[in-house]
Amino acid sequence: MKGDTRESVPNVLYRLAYVLGTVVTNWTVEIPEEFGTGYCSGFVFNENIRLLILNYELKEDLVIDNPEVNDSASMLLFKFQNVIPKTATPSTGRETPSVLIATSSINTDVVIPIHTNRAILNVEVDANYLKELVDLSGKSPVLQSLFDNTQPLLFEEQMFPSLQDIVDQLMTESVDAPFKLFFLRVKAEELICRLLMALERRDEKQLYSLNRQDIDIIYKVKEQMLDHLDMPPVINELAVTANMSPSKLKRLFRQIFGNSIFSYYQAFRMKEAARLLTAGTLTVSEVGNQLGFTNLSHFSRVFYDHIGTKPKQYSRLH
């Protein structure tokens, strides 16, 4: 397909351009200065896969109806969050790069509300198209349920280096117009392939349909837990807050995040420790104390198990 023909641009971009009083050029809507800064780019590669890049900051909320919302009944959404570097505002440490993977009946904006600031990358892929590409042979209940796309499911995966490398290539590599759509489609499909390989390693044997309320509650529990990294989570207390039984809370949390509550907490705790050490304003013992460790040797062992090096060595190298 040559150039940004009408068929290769998502209709939502034309709707956005109309509201902003501008035009779509090279698959992109540049945000006019009176509305904010940044851009939105969109690419329809074929009927099976499309890509949307939202990297902007608006002066006020703007609601745009998606004219293609009724065409996505068989589409799976892969939403990449915090993967686009922010030059204006520094990272807070809570903005961990991750990917939401949702069936068509899940509205992920329940989890990530629409704000005036967006820095995300969305890939939509037809579930039937993926079925033709991947030979499951009944080995992965997670992927089978995802591909069937018959129940509301949401998974979250943390970004790993090889995944971020592909995103960086997709975002920054200069490609001549005749090859642009081909290049971006290959990169988008590579992202999906690597995420499917990660999901295939999950060992859930039974998946439970999710509703908006359960998703909202699980994410509030996660935020509550991460707000207090100096205090290990107590399942019964979290369950009371969530108004769920402890077994249901643990089951849904593991289903969404692929990890137990404590393991997720500990992994995030060590990522925060690494971030604080990289900042260089705190000593190793101060970082450990801030994150609730009363024993420096214990902190060092846990950090090594997650990061692969001792905190003092990590601090010197970064």
Which of the four pLDDT bands, split at 50, 70 and 90, describes residue 3? Answer: low
State mean pLDDT over 171-199: 95
Asked if pLDDT for residue 304 goes beyond 50, the answer is yes
State mean pLDDT over 71-83: 85
Domain boundaries, the chain: 6-200, 212-317
State mean pLDDT over 78-86: 86
Pick the CATH number of 212-317 from 1.10.10.10, 3.40.50.360, 3.40.50.720, 1.10.10.60: 1.10.10.60
What is the SS3 string spanning 29-94? EECCCCCEEEEEEEEEEECCEEEEEEEEEECCCCCCCCCCHHHCCCEEEEEEECCCCCCCCCCCCC
Asked if pLDDT for residue 93 goes beyond 60, the answer is no
Task: Provide the greatest CA pair distance for the chain.
Answer: 62
Sheet (strand 28-30) strand order: 28-30, 36-46, 49-58, 117-126, 75-81, 98-102, 154-158
Asked if pLDDT for residue 261 goes beyond 70, the answer is yes
State mean pLDDT over 24-33: 95
Which of the four pLDDT bands, split at 50, 70 and 90, describes residue 128? Answer: very high
- In DSSP terms, which residues pair with 98 in a beta bridge? 81, 158
Res 78: pLDDT: 96
Asked if pLDDT for residue 50 goes beyond 90, the answer is yes
Asked if pLDDT for residue 117 goes beyond 70, the answer is no
- State percent of the chain over pLDDT 90: 72
Which of the four pLDDT bands, split at 50, 70 and 90, describes residue 106? Answer: confident
User: Per-residue pLDDT tens for 207-246?
Assistant: 999 998 999 999 999 999 999 999 999 999 999 999 999 9
pTM of the model: 0.89
Asked if pLDDT for residue 2 goes beyond 60, the answer is no
User: Per-residue pLDDT tens for 266-280?
Assistant: 999 999 999 999 998
Res 70: pLDDT: 52
Distance from the Cα of residue 204 to its chain's centroid: 20
State mean pLDDT over 238-258: 95
- State percent of the chain over pLDDT 70: 89
